[in-house]
């Protein structure tokens, strides 16, 4: 049945840069509606995995399906329902927070999915433009009071949230987050965890690359561990938490 079709099916994907294999024959699945964590040391290939799923890199081999449909390695990933944030925030520093979200809307945007995600039928009738939608998205991530502030003037934690709002402007079915907790305070990380859980409750599948393992184990049903571009293990959060390799690398045990 359709409900069992994974959000992502990655089969034998490799990414090479010259002689370097950044991702080596990687296969895995991400369940629809889940929050799925990716952990591993620096250089393990985590960002490469997000880059190849989101179409920023072309796979050297292998194939990726999104809800059962093959992704075209030549593009159209946003239109297909993928959105992502970057390990180093990539905002338009000179634009206001509101305009950064508006810049997220484009031809590939899936307005119907944004509507389904965030707005009641009455709000859909009231909202007349992308401007209204952008305001609604800013409010959702808690940045209503900062709509007119330049992105570069926002505190770092707010910039991270703004980047998520801009990604949501695409109306994604799957949201890829690359170290969204990096540089955040403990309180901000807790807020980020609530935001991620809320997105999943609204039906957005989240793939979360993160070094903060507390956040990973707090919000992820499934966890995949990468090292040297290879799959180390993938399983339920509790299983990963018990894994000796994970304990040795992350939990000081």
Q: Please check whether residue 189 is in contact with residue 212, taking contact to mean a CB–CB distance below 8 angstroms.
A: yes
Residues 2-31 that bind ligand ADP (CB under 6 A): 17, 20, 22
42 binds ligand ADP (CB under 6 A): yes
Q: Which is nearer to ligand ADP, 35 or 226 (CB)?
A: 226
Pick from Mg ion, ligand ADP, none: which does 42 bind, CB < 5 to 8 A by kind?
Answer: ligand ADP
56 binds ligand ADP (CB under 6 A): no
Query: Whole-angstrom Cα distance, residue 130 to residue 106?
Result: 10
- Binding-site string for Mg ion from residue 82 to residue 111, where x marks contact by CB under 5 A and - marks none: -----x------------------------
Q: Which is nearer to ligand ADP, 127 or 243 (CB)?
A: 243
Q: Please check whether residue 143 is in contact with residue 125, taking contact to mean a CB–CB distance below 8 angstroms.
A: no
48 binds ligand ADP (CB under 6 A): yes
Q: Which is nearer to ligand ADP, 58 or 242 (CB)?
A: 58
Determine which residue in the list 47, 54, 85, 234 makes contact with ligand ADP, applying CB under 6 A: 47
Between the CA of residue 225 and those of 7, 69, 84, 159, 232, what are the distances in Å? 19, 25, 20, 28, 5
183-218 residues labelled b (16+ CB within 10 A) or e (exposed): ebeeebbebbbebbeebbeeebbbbbbbebbebbbb
Q: Are strands 222-227 and 230-236 parallel, antiparallel or unpaired?
A: antiparallel
Q: Which stretch binds ligand ADP (CB under 6 A): 36-44, 112-120, 137-145, 192-200?
A: 36-44
Element (H, E) at 20: strand 20-30
First to last CA, the chain: 42
Determine which residue in the list 32, 36, 39, 47 makes contact with Mg ion, applying CB under 5 A: 47
46 binds ligand ADP (CB under 6 A): yes
What token pair was written down for 196? Answer: 């991620």
Residues 157-186 that bind ligand ADP (CB under 6 A): none
Cα–Cα nearest to 230, from 53, 66, 38, 7: 38
Q: Which is nearer to Mg ion, 138 or 206 (CB)?
A: 206
48 binds Mg ion (CB under 5 A): no
Angle subtended by helix axes 130-140 and 156-168, to nearest 10? 130
Report the nearest approach of Mg ion to the CB of residue 47 (Å): 3
Determine which residue in the list 28, 37, 45, 172 makes contact with ligand ADP, applying CB under 6 A: 45
Q: Which residues bind ligand ADP (CB under 6 A)?
A: 17, 20, 22, 40, 42-48
Q: Which residues bind Mg ion (CB under 5 A)?
A: 46-47, 87
């Amino acid at each position: 049945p359709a409900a069992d079709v994974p959000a992502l099916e990655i089969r034998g994907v490799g990414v090479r840069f010259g002689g370097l294999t950044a991702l080596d024959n990687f296969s895995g699945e991400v369940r629809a509606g889940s929050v799925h964590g990716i952990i591993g040391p620096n250089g393990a290939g985590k960002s490469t995995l997000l880059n190849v799923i989101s179409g920023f890199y072309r796979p050297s081999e292998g194939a990726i399906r999104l809800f059962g449909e093959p992704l075209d390695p030549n593009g159209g990933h946003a239109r297909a329902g993928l959105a992502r944030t970057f390990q180093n925030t990539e905002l338009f520093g000179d634009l206001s927070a509101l305009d950064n979200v508006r810049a997220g809307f484009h031809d590939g945007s899936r307005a119907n999915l944004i509507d389904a995600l965030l707005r009641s039928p009455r709000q859909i009738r009231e909202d007349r433009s992308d401007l209204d939608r952008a305001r609604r998205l800013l409010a959702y991530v808690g940045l209503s009071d900062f709509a007119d502030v330049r992105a570069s003037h926002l505190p770092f934690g707010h910039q991270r949230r703004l980047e998520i709002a801009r990604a949501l402007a695409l109306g994604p079915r799957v949201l890829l987050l690359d170290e969204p907790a990096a540089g955040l305070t403990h309180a901000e990380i807790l807020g980020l965890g609530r935001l991620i859980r809320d997105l999943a409750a609204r039906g957005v599948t989240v793939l979360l690359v993160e070094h903060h393992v507390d956040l990973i184990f707090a919000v992820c049903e499934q966890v995949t561990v990468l090292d040297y571009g290879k799959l180390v293990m993938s399983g339920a959060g509790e299983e990963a938490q018990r894994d000796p390799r994970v304990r040795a690398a992350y939990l000081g045990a």
